[in-house]
Amino acid sequence: MKIAKAVVGSLGTNCYFLMNDAGEVLIVDPADTDPVRLEQFVRNQGLKPLAVLLTHGHFDHILCAPELAGLLSVPVCALDAERALLSDPEGNCSAGYGRTRICVLPDRFFTPDEDVTMGHFSFRVLHTPGHTAGSCCFWFPEDKVLVCGDTLFRGSFGRTDLATGNGAQIEASVVRLLTELPEDTVCLPGHGPETTVELERNINPFGYLVERTE
């Protein structure tokens, strides 16, 4: 897998382009104010777009998802548990922090821990509640890549004081990721630099909760 990142929007969101050897691309969390800029990247690289994937429903991750999906003629996909937040401008913070009220109705809803095949991509949708009730991560086992949205950051984790956030849940979600995934997994967060499961087991505030086998 080849990965390109665009840092977009007022909160510096990481929008990822996940590309395979077949020339296909998945776009994760497009939050640019200019969807044409993201579309042009796909077109200029000669890529075949398959879908827009959303890790959760906050405005700084969904801002131009419908517009970009329309330009590329691909579906918008999210976890079913995030359905309500995506359609609620108050809950997804677009009414308070953003310039416009945003409602997104995905074309496809994933179920927790669903195994998905799109083109030549195969990934699992991990339900990781805590930052929001329907937060999810996209796990690509063959490449050992995890797109983790705002659940896991380098040395930290997502805030839980916004709508549907829950501290106990995000602790459990982070511990699950650091327990179940291989230590050489590359983690691509929604903000900031990438990290690895091995590093987070040592520096994350919840890392001490991970059972170690010597």
Domains of the chain: 2-207 (3.60.15.10)
**What residues contact 93, with CB distance under 8 A and at least 6 apart?**
58, 59, 60, 162, 163
CB contact burial 110-131 (16+ within 10 A = b; e otherwise):
beeeeebebeebebbbbbbbbb
Sort strands 186-189 and 156-157 into parallel, antiparallel or unpaired: unpaired
Could you please report the per-residue DSSP string of 157-181?
E---SSTT--HHHHHHHHHHHHHHS
pLDDT of residue 98: 54
**What residues contact 40, with CB distance under 8 A and at least 6 apart?**
none
* 40-44, 94-98, 176-180, 206-210: least confident range: 94-98
Nearest by Cα to 165 from 102, 91, 109: 91
Q: What percent of the chain has pLDDT over 90?
A: 88
User: What is the average per-residue pLDDT within 208-214?
Assistant: 75
Residue 99 scores a pLDDT above 80: no
**What residues contact 162, with CB distance under 8 A and at least 6 apart?**
58, 93, 131, 132
User: What is the average per-residue pLDDT within 49-77?
Assistant: 96
Residue 206 scores a pLDDT above 50: yes
Residue 2 burial (CB < 10 Å; 0-12/13-18/19+)?
A: exposed
pLDDT of residue 214: 47
CB–CB of 103/86 below 8 Å?
A: yes
Residue 213 scores a pLDDT above 70: no
pTM: 0.96
- Mean pLDDT computed over every residue of the chain: 95
Residue 64 scores a pLDDT above 80: yes
Question: Mind listing the pLDDT tens digit for each residue in 117-163?
Answer: 999 999 999 999 999 999 999 999 999 999 999 999 999 999 999 99
